[in-house]
């Protein structure tokens, strides 16, 4: 489902998210791939096209998330909401690995929100930032 994002809202989101994915922090400049506007609560689930519900996401994170808003935590078997970039702080749920090559989850919310491909993108970001 393609939903038109008004120009004024895109401008606000671009400035706030600094043209970086809100889930893996990959910058559009580093990846060279245009970011997408992600409905955090998908429109198909009633999510609105508002600043509080739309953020920038790389295509990998957006496609991984699809229309999911919750997942089962494999450790507790409890249904857990995915990371919400507008309501939660990335640093409260994720951290860089000690060698700086991967994003690691520090909470159940993060554990179910991470996908393997975001770690690959994180490596790319780290190399550029360090260089």
Q: Which residues here bind Zn ion, judged by CB under 5 A?
A: 21, 23-24, 58, 61
Report the greatest alpha carbon distance in the chain. Answer: 43
Distance, CA of 108 to CA of 113 (rounded, Å): 9
**What is the nearest approach in angstroms of Zn ion to the Cβ of residue 97?**
16
Residue 23 or 37 having the CB closest to Zn ion: 23
Residue 58 or 111 having the CB closest to Zn ion: 58
The closest of 50, 38, 24, 34 to 121, measured between CA atoms, is 24
Residue 21 or 112 having the CB closest to Zn ion: 21
**What is the nearest approach in angstroms of Zn ion to the Cβ of residue 49?**
20
Return the structure tokens found at 5: 């994002």
**What is the nearest approach in angstroms of Zn ion to the Cβ of residue 44?**
20
Q: Which helix (H) or strand (E) holds 16?
A: helix 7-17
**Is 27 in contact with 19 (CB distance < 8 Å)?**
yes
Residue 38 or 47 having the CB closest to Zn ion: 38
**What is the nearest approach in angstroms of Zn ion to the Cβ of residue 60?**
6
């Amino acid at each position: 489902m393609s939903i038109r994002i008004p120009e004024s809202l895109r401008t606000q989101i671009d400035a706030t998210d600094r043209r970086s994915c809100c889930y893996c922090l990959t910058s559009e400049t580093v990846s060279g791939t245009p970011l997408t506007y992600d409905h955090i609560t998908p429109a198909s689930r009633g999510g609105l096209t508002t600043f509080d519900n739309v953020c920038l996401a790389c295509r990998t994170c957006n496609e991984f998330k699809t229309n999911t808003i919750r997942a089962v935590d494999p450790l507790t078997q409890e249904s857990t909401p995915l990371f919400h970039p507008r309501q939660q702080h990335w640093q409260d749920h994720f951290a860089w690995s000690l060698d700086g090559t991967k994003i690691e989850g520090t909470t159940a919310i993060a554990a179910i929100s991470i996908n393997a491909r975001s770690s690959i993108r994180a490596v790319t970001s780290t190399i550029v930032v360090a260089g």
